[in-house]
Structure 1
Amino acid sequence: MNLENIKNNKVKTILQFSIPSIIAMVLTSLITVVDGFFIGNYVGSEGLAAVNLGLPIIYLYLAVGLMVSVGGVAIAGIALGGKDTQKCNSVFNQTMVTSTLATILLSVIVWFCLDPMLYLLNADRQVVGFFKDYYVILLLELPVMVINASFGMFIRGEGKPQYFMQVNILNVLLNILLDYLFVRWMGFGVKGIAAASLLSATVTLVCILYFFIKKSSVYKLHKFTFSKDVLKNTLLNGSSEFIGEMSLSISMFAYNFVILKHIGVDGVTAFTIVGYVAYIFSMVLIGFGQGASPLVSFTYGAKEYSLSKSLRKITNTMVLIAGAVVLLLVVFGADWYSGLFIKNDLVQQMIHSGVAIFAISFLFSGINTITSFYFTSIGRANESAIISSARGLVVLLICIFTLPVFLGMMGVWLVAPTTEIVTLFLTLFFIRKETTKKSHGFATE
């Protein structure tokens, strides 16, 4: 990275780092959407509901993976900005080993929790069968997914985001091809969807390892001395991302519990289909956050504190514009979108009546997300954690357990915009607090 280049071309540099990251994240999310297309059209609404019931498991893996990788890449980025290449390499290797061991252990634990989870949700027998067929295989794929994402953050931190984007394109194309073969032609159902994810993720991992063995110029795979301090700081720096994704895991379980209780399987199916839009947009936000984070960490490590804040402001403007664009697309494309996944009049009516209301949250979620990333990138974990816990747990759970009870499915759609608007006030408070500090406030920290 070149400090003068960042100063003179802030918007261009953010886009150079963010666009490949956004494409990579959106391509990753498209795998889930394509899976939903094949399940909805070749398995049925019960299959879609079954996959959605297990989303808390996926968010749990993302929570652990992001906590370790975001925290580690922030420390490595600051060290790189301070020209301490030995430390940044050591942090890289420790981060990847930690991610690998943590996710493998998590798969073992989750294996024993599948039946208790299904018991609490009180799902019907057919949904339970689809759930087990899918997630038993996915417990092998999810650690690979997290490892790939962790490696990808360091590839971007090295200034080579295009390579990770190319690898993700391969991942998506291979996944779509295997979905088509396993489900459309071989009739493997949800088992085929899960197997396709596992195989494509494994091929992706091989391509990524090739990069670090043959092409990497900064981060190298080698022996390292384990540091408790680095681990502590990694987990602390990534705590807000952990809270954010863990909150999504808890809130998704709460969503499913409430919708099954008050509306039924059709409600879960409708929420699943609308959730694909939210998932894709959240990947756009994470892409912006992951693209801007190395720049913020680097400039902060170089003691260019005002530049770090400027990068945050520009990125917030970009995600606000992106949210407005997606909202318009959702409003005008609701009918076509619902019919793409399911041929069920009741489910389609639920989607049509609520997707535009749900999408209002996109106007506010970007600022909340990017500001949380910003505070993580400069090592201010407390502010980031508070924002993440508010929008992903405290406010969200209050809305989940109140609005659907009184308003039914309309209450489900109102949960997201209500949560993001309330959280925005908290986010603006932290931004204002940061902005109104004395001119040398950063330097004295």
Structure 2
Amino acid sequence: MSKVSAEQLGNEPIGKLLIKQAVPASIGILVMSLNVLVDSIFVGNWIGSIAIAAINVVLPVSFFIGALGMAIGIGGSSIISRALGSNDHKKAVKTFGNQIALTLLVTVAMVFLGLYYTDSLIPAFGGKGAIFEPAKVYYTIVLYGVPFLALCMMGNTVIRAEGKPKFAMNAMIIPSVGNLLMDYVFIYVFDWGMEGAAWATTIGYILCFAYILYFFLSQNSELKLNWSHLGFNGAILKEIGALGFVTLSRQAVVSVIYLLMNNILFNLGGEAMVAVYAIIGRMLMFALFPVFGVTQGFLPIAGFNYGAQKFDRVKESISTAIKYAAILATIVFIGLMIFPTEIAGLFLSSRPDISAEELAMNTFVLEHTPMAMRLVFAATPIIALQLIGAAYFQAIGKAVPALLLTLSRQGFFFIPLILILPTYLGELGVWISFPIADVLATLVTGYFLRKEVRKTLVVPRDLQKDAQ
């Protein structure tokens, strides 16, 4: 796979460049998603369905803290991409130093709070009944590794902003493979149960951190730091915060959705219904990996060329990214519509010695998951426009519209829908909330993206020639 430098982001053909950026990002996201997927399959087969539900309860807490690193990373990487595009290397390095210091400060503080409120947070996120104890075991161990996860998420976005997608891909592959190997050793060989699953996840985070640290300490990175770069700069922190708040808000909304969904579904069908959502949630992370890969590949291209005032290339990157992502989303959609029962069956234990209680739970999950999966992914072919449109505003540093469009699907539309529709339609109301929110958010994003492109991506002909 060819190496991409920051300068190439402004010169290579957009289609070729997007493939170079998106393929490594997609592979990295695929491996991370497969990690979550296979991890859940291992847990379901080797520990039980209740363990999948327990992990689903813990995910929003650990992911939120990890998302702090991603938010700081994406916010700062937007600055870095534009700074490199305008040849301001000093600002790029200072921004990276501030990202590191801020990530450490915020995530360590969050871990302390998370440990202090353990017994309150787990039930609040749906860890009730038989789910509570395994969830607590998993949560306590994984939380210690979450600062490493946050640093990984932050560092990975910076690597991609430098135009080094292959290294960013490796940073996602290494911990995922390590986690799965540790799953086999700790759960299957040592029979450590939930503790084994938690330690496997934590070790994966540490492996990721070790690789990213190697990248920035070696000659591969253009951003060479000294201690002075770690000192906070108010203007840079403000911009990181404004842009990163988009990502953080999105993850905060995801955590709220997990809280609401786990509690609503527990009231509708107990632990088994939470297990259904756990499988759906894994597929939401896994199935759309190529679409998310295109989105991640699009960000530095749009940001760099916007900073370099190459607006024709920015417009081309938008249309090309939407086209590629829409094709991939449609392929995913077809697969999910055809094979939902087979997918659900992968997560359920087929051991002959399972208890009657677990057998009944597995039967319930297998009966309810296929219909739910088809409804949840019903609008998948059109989501490319929503994801690329929201990402564009983030790439060019316009935090407010990026925030509003990012929150439109899950915050402004989905949450009200799941609070209203299940009251009248029960379980069906939960699942149809997903495609309705997708359609509404796509329509809104399409309108504002079209308006923004017409307004800002126009420059005088002579200036356009100079930029090229």
TM-score interval, smaller chain:
over 0.9
Is contact 2:53-2:275 (8 Å) kept?
A: yes
What number of residue pairs does the alignment pair up?
A: 443
Is contact 2:126-2:262 (8 Å) kept?
A: no
Is contact 1:138-1:198 (8 Å) kept?
A: yes
CA deviation after TM superposition for structure 1 residue 402, in Å: 1.8
- What TM-score, normalized by structure 2, do the two folds share? 0.90
**Runs of 5+ unmatched residues, structure 2:** 350-361, 464-468
Is contact 2:376-2:431 (8 Å) kept?
A: yes
Which residue does 2:64 correspond to in 1?
Answer: 60
Which residue does 1:34 correspond to in 2?
Answer: 38
Q: State how far apart, in whole Å, the 2-side matches of 1:374 and 1:317 are.
A: 15
Q: State how far apart, in whole Å, the 2-side matches of 1:118 and 1:2 are.
A: 44
Question: Equivalent residues in 2 for 1:166-177 (5 A)?
Answer: 166-177=170-181
Q: 1:278 aligns with which of 267, 280, 284?
A: 284
Q: Output the aligned Cα RMSD.
A: 2.0
CA deviation after TM superposition for structure 1 residue 180, in Å: 0.5
Deviations 1:167-212 (A, max 9, x none): 4322222111110011111111111111011112212211221111
Q: 2:383 aligns with which of 365, 377, 386?
A: 365
1:390 has 2:396 as partner:
no
Q: Which moved more, 1:368-377 or 1:220-229?
A: 220-229
Is contact 2:6-2:84 (8 Å) kept?
A: no
Q: Which moved more, 1:113-122 or 1:37-46?
A: 113-122
Alpha carbons of structure 1 residues 123 and 161: separation in structure 2 relative to 1, 3 Å: closer
Q: State how far apart, in whole Å, the 2-side matches of 1:302 and 1:372 are.
A: 21
Is contact 1:350-1:409 (8 Å) kept?
A: no
| Residue identity matched to 2:335 | L
Q: 1:320 aligns with which of 317, 326, 330?
A: 326
CA deviation after TM superposition for structure 1 residue 106, in Å: 1.0
Q: Which moved more, 1:294-303 or 1:386-395?
A: 386-395
Question: Equivalent residues in 2 for 1:337-356 (5 A)?
Answer: 337-343=343-349, 344-356=362-374
Which residue does 1:48 correspond to in 2?
Answer: 52
| Residue identity matched to 2:133 | G
CA deviation after TM superposition for structure 1 residue 437, in Å: 2.4
Which residue does 1:254 correspond to in 2?
Answer: 260
Is contact 1:59-1:246 (8 Å) kept?
A: no
Question: Equivalent residues in 2 for 1:373-388 (5 A)?
Answer: 373-388=391-406
Q: State how far apart, in whole Å, the 1-side matches of 2:379 and 2:249 are.
A: 20
Deviations 1:130-182 (A, max 9, x none): 01110101111222112112111111222221123224322222111110011
Which residue does 1:233 correspond to in 2?
Answer: 239
| Residue identity matched to 1:428 | G
Alpha carbons of structure 1 residues 387 and 438: separation in structure 2 relative to 1, 3 Å: closer
Q: State how far apart, in whole Å, the 2-side matches of 1:441 and 1:64 are.
A: 36
Alpha carbons of structure 1 residues 361 and 108: separation in structure 2 relative to 1, 3 Å: farther
CA deviation after TM superposition for structure 1 residue 121, in Å: 5.3
CA deviation after TM superposition for structure 1 residue 298, in Å: 0.8
1:180 has 2:180 as partner:
no
Alpha carbons of structure 1 residues 282 and 248: separation in structure 2 relative to 1, 3 Å: farther
Is contact 2:81-2:300 (8 Å) kept?
A: yes
- What TM-score, normalized by structure 1, do the two folds share? 0.94
Q: State how far apart, in whole Å, the 2-side matches of 1:318 and 1:93 are.
A: 34
Q: Please give the secondary structure, in 2, of the residue aligned with 1:111.
A: helix
1:148 has 2:148 as partner:
no
Q: Which moved more, 1:113-122 or 1:92-101?
A: 113-122
Query: What percent of counterpart residues are identical?
Result: 25
Alpha carbons of structure 1 residues 286 and 103: separation in structure 2 relative to 1, 3 Å: farther
Deviations 1:58-114 (A, max 9, x none): 331243222211110111111111111111111111112211221111111111232
CA deviation after TM superposition for structure 1 residue 364, in Å: 2.9
Q: 2:295 aligns with which of 279, 289, 306?
A: 289
| Residue identity matched to 1:417 | P
| Residue identity matched to 2:339 | G
Alpha carbons of structure 1 residues 37 and 199: separation in structure 2 relative to 1, 3 Å: same
Q: State how far apart, in whole Å, the 1-side matches of 2:452 and 2:337 are.
A: 36
Q: Please give the secondary structure, in 2, of the residue aligned with 1:264.
A: helix
CA deviation after TM superposition for structure 1 residue 31, in Å: 1.7
Q: 1:99 aligns with which of 96, 103, 109?
A: 103
Q: State how far apart, in whole Å, the 2-side matches of 1:438 and 1:237 are.
A: 19
Alpha carbons of structure 1 residues 282 and 250: separation in structure 2 relative to 1, 3 Å: farther
CA deviation after TM superposition for structure 1 residue 4, in Å: 7.3
Q: State how far apart, in whole Å, the 1-side matches of 2:100 and 2:125 are.
A: 34
